[in-house]
Amino acid sequence: MQKRKLGNSGLEVSALGLGCMSMSSGYGPAADKQEMIALIRKAIEYGVTLFDTAEAYGPFANEELLGEALAPFRNDVVIATKFGFEIDPDTGERKGGTNSRPEHIKQVAEASLKRLKTDYIDLFYQHRVDPAVSIEDVAGAVKELIQAGKVRHLGLSEAGAQTIRRAHAIQPITAVQSEYSLWYRGPENEILPMLEELGIGFVPFSPLGVGFLTGKIDENTKFDSSDFRTMVPRFAPEAMKENMALVDLVCDVATRKHATPAQIALSWLLAQKPWIVPIPGTTKLHRLEENLGATKVEFTPYELSEIGAAAARIPLQGARLPEASLAMTGR
């Protein structure tokens, strides 16, 4: 497995990480715990070292899953988790709002450490910007956790450019996590140039367009009632029908490169910058193996330019998230 460094931080991880949310929540019923432990450990065998979770996934269940799966390999892996939502610590009920008050951040860190069966968190992200708490106070709270040895690196998720700059001035940011793929290219305009300037790594989630770029989904696909895609405008049947033009493009490139559509989507991301580390998620071993094969696909500069230009000419229909979720991003 190839290795990459997240910006100037020196934190080295596998070129592809593993997003673990879907194992516990978001895409329907939780997968079998023992099967997911086996999958996570298989990923380690294949050289994956970056594992992404959050207290909100489950809630709590995903961190507990990773804690059990990664315990025998703790010194060989990088665990990224997140704080920032209001979740009842007793019931696990998510109350809906953000909460990044410094005292809450520290409480979440202690609880996450227990669930993850570790004494330090490698990368601690603010899950969503909290409009009620200054980002300087958030960065300061994580800085204190770093000084205490409980956290090693600060990250931000779905934050806007000015928020990133302000936080970085208080505590250097190691990574920013946001959605990025051929399906959603918003970070290219302002975020990626700024991250390069500041020496911050970028960790794209949903690098396969929440499954759309795999070519396995179309307007006839039926999602489980608990799958969050049932609420996403871009996954409405009429929008998917229009957006299939992008899938057709990816499939055409895959045929020419003797690869799968998923591998093309991931390898295109990897080719954008050497400090980009996508975190595709899966609950299936054959998909894990397929995704990791993306690291072997190479593009010429002309091919990259051709793919990017062709994708930019396709007008995609539907917002990438429900309106309430979009309101919490890019601040």
Omega cis (within 30) before 301: no
In a domain, 198, yes or no: yes
Q: Exposed e or buried b for every residue in 251-270, given b needs 16+ CB within 10 A?
A: bebbeeeebbbbbbbbbbbb
Distance CA(276)–CA(169), nearest Å, equals 22
Flag whether pLDDT at 92 surpasses 80.
Answer: yes
Q: What is the pLDDT of residue 67?
A: 98
Strands 50-52 and 78-83, bridge-based pairing? parallel
Omega cis (within 30) before 102: no
In a domain, 37, yes or no: yes
Distance CA(225)–CA(146), nearest Å, equals 40
User: Span 284-290, mean pLDDT?
Assistant: 98
Q: CA 210 from chain center: how many Å? A: 11
In a domain, 331, yes or no: no
Q: Give percent of the chain above pLDDT 90.
A: 95
CATH number where 200 lies: 3.20.20.100
Quick: pLDDT tens for 67-90.
999 999 999 999 999 999 999 988
Distance CA(288)–CA(130), nearest Å, equals 34
Quick: pLDDT tens for 132-190.
999 999 999 999 999 999 999 999 999 999 999 999 999 999 999 999 999 999 999 99
Task: Report the candidate in 137, 81, 132 with the shortest Cα–Cα distance to residue 110.
Answer: 81
Flag whether pLDDT at 250 surpasses 90.
Answer: yes
Task: Report the candidate in 252, 256, 249, 262 with the shortest Cα–Cα distance to residue 294.
Answer: 262
Flag whether pLDDT at 96 surpasses 80.
Answer: no
Strands 201-205 and 121-126, bridge-based pairing? unpaired
Q: How confident is the model at residue 194 (pLDDT cuts 50, 70, 90)?
A: very high
127 is written with which tokens?
Answer: 């899950």
Q: CA 251 from chain center: how many Å? A: 23
Query: Which residue in the block uniquely carries the two structure tokens 């934050």?
Result: 159
- Cβ contact 8:53 at 8 Å: no
Angle (CA) 63-122-199 rounded to 5° is 130
* Domain count of the fold of the chain: 1
In a domain, 304, yes or no: yes
Tell me the residue ranges of DSSP E strands in the chain: 3-5, 12-14, 18-19, 50-52, 78-83, 85-87, 94-98, 121-126, 151-157, 173-179, 201-205
Question: Which residues are part of the catalytic machinery?
Answer: 57
Flag whether pLDDT at 324 surpasses 90.
Answer: no
Q: Note if the pTM is more than 0.85.
A: yes
Quick: pLDDT tens for 215-244.
999 999 999 999 999 999 999 999 999 999
Domain region containing 295? 3-326
How many Cβ atoms are within 10 Å of 158's Cβ, its own excluded? 24
Distance CA(236)–CA(217), nearest Å, equals 12
Distance CA(156)–CA(83), nearest Å, equals 10
Flag whether pLDDT at 268 surpasses 90.
Answer: yes
Q: Cβ-count burial of 294 within 10 angstroms (0-12 exposed, 13-18 middle, 19+ buried)?
A: buried
